[in-house]
Amino acid sequence: NAGVTQTPKFQVLKTGQSMTLQCAQDMNHNSMYWYRQDPGMGLRLIYYSASEGTTDKGEVPNGYNVSRLNKREFSLRLESAAPSQTSVYFCASSETPESQPQHFGDGTRLSIL
Amino acid sequence: GQQLNQSPQSMFIQEGEDVSMNCTSSSIFNTWLWYKQDPGEGPVLLIALYKAGELTSNGRLTAQFGITRKDSFLNISASIPSDVGIYFCAGQLNTNAGKSTFGDGTTLTVKP
């Protein structure tokens, strides 16, 4: 009964380091999403994958890359971390691209020094 | 891009009181969504609205899709301490969840 699982839960990086955030869902959902949430703000979409094999840019894609490894897994990579990328990152999934993100992970809290 | 304004930004209420919050946009949306986020967790979808004028309930929560399609309202009746959290609205223009726009949230505090 895991739903959406994100790893790691916390991470501290130095400027310029790279890192991959992992996300997996066990609900056989077609669509997956990566959001960032900054203090006092709502979620902003970084990238999404409507179905296995496809990815599209969201509202704030610069500085990030994604991989839809298979139907279950959708990873987010920071190639050269910057302090402006300090945020809480949420992965989400939905049954289809037309349905709303219903299931969110508990987030990865990322600090970049 | 599209902007959503949620108000109020925060609310402090007594247990048992009713709560109203709203979300307005300068643009039309075809779908309105309401989420709740507990501290340290991801958002949970509460209610989805698909048609102008639609009124939908989920337990003590009732949400409405404004007839202008530029606003939505969420009401919570007889608040309880576990209602504490941040409530987010989100709007979608197209039938593509990847294009949702989120508001900045209303933080609700309920005093027992």
> Cα angle at B100 between B97 and B101, to 5 degrees?
175
A49 to chain B: closest CA residue: B98
Q: Check CB contact of A38 with chain B, cutoff 8 Å.
A: no
pLDDT digits (tens, 9 = 90+) for B52-93: 999 999 999 999 999 999 999 999 999 999 999 999 999 988
Distance from CA of B19 to the nearest CA of A (A): 20
Percent of chain B with pLDDT over 90: 82
A9 to chain B: closest CA residue: B40
Q: What is the mean pLDDT of chain B?
A: 92
The one-character DSSP state at A30 is S
- Give me the residue from A40, A45, A105 closest to B100, CB to CB: A45
The predicted model gives B11-16 an average pLDDT of: 96
Number of Cβ within 10 Å of residue A43's Cβ equals: 31
User: What is the pLDDT, as a whole number, of residue A102?
Assistant: 80
Q: Check CB contact of B26 with chain A, cutoff 8 Å.
A: no
CA distance B86 to B40: 11
